[in-house]
Amino acid sequence: MAENSGIEWTTHTFNPWIGCTKVSPACDHCYAEAWDKRFNGERWGPHAPRTRTKTWGNPIKWNKQAAISGERPRVFCASLADVFDNHRTIEPTWRRELWALIRQTPNLDWLLLTKRPSNIAKMLPDDWGNGYANVWLGATVENQAAANRIDDLTKVPARIRFLSMEPLVGPVDLSAHIQNLHWVITGGENGTHYRPADPDWFRSIRDQCAGAGVPFLFKQWEGRNQKEIKAKGRALDDVVHDGYPA
């Protein structure tokens, strides 16, 4: 679990717990499940337990560093899990303590990305109001069928609402929702069994974002491994798109 992330759109990753269940095509070749299997974790699937980590002190450290530097690190929370997973082995105290940790670290911007946005509203803290100033809520949308998740995401008040369209496995029309979004990330699939992406899928999303004034980030092309992906570069039509919310 890398403290300083190699993911282009975040600074750090933090996992309050580990484990998940596949719910859609984006999960077919889950990198987190593969990571877990390498360490004999057996934390994937509806009958597998989620396990709490021992890294809860890291965000406190990052928050102190940010207070000194004046910068605002982005923290991708639960790269090896889903904060809004309703699995029976996730103890209610874990999520309550996570919200408390987020409140204790106002110098960090927390990115909570889920494939279960229908669970968000019922799992928010009592003092959520119009959203915490340091929380960005996101949903994974890999194809048009998964775009239904955006309905649930946009019903929740939040400072920033974003989409991670990675791995993108089909074209997506965002016209019904894009005015309620603040950021869109796209990217191809990584892994031995990656599914090729049509460049026109990325172009369409880029153009939809440009038309609506929504920041757009193109993370990567698809490939068998990071070496192959990085060799392709990050340009889409000779332009590197690194948009971020203001």
Ordered structural domains, the chain, with CATH: 12-240 (3.20.20)
Predicted confidence at residue 1, as pLDDT, reads: 44
Q: Map residue 235 onto helix, strand or coil.
A: strand
Predicted confidence at residue 39, as pLDDT, reads: 87
Evaluate if pTM is beyond 0.85: yes
| Sequence-separated (6 or more) residues with CB below 8 Å from residue 22 | 28, 30, 33, 44, 45
CA–CA separation, 154 vs 139, rounded Å? 10
- Please report where in the chains the tokens 């717990």 appear, as a residue: 17
pLDDT along the chain (246 residues), means of 10: 77 97 95 89 94 97 98 97 97 97 98 98 98 98 98 98 98 98 98 96 98 98 95 97 96
